[in-house]
Amino acid sequence: MSSRSRAWMVAGTVGLVEALKDQGFARWNYTIGVLFLISITAAASSDSNYHETEKLKEANISKN
Q: For the chain, give every domain's residue range.
A: 24-64
What pTM was computed for the model?
Answer: 0.39
Torsion sign over Cα 7, 8, 9, 10: positive
- pLDDT band for position 61 (cuts 50, 70, 90): confident
pLDDT digits (tens, 9 = 90+) for 18-58: 888 887 775 677 777 888 888 877 766 665 566 676 777 77
pLDDT for residue 49: 63
d(CA 12, CA 19): 10
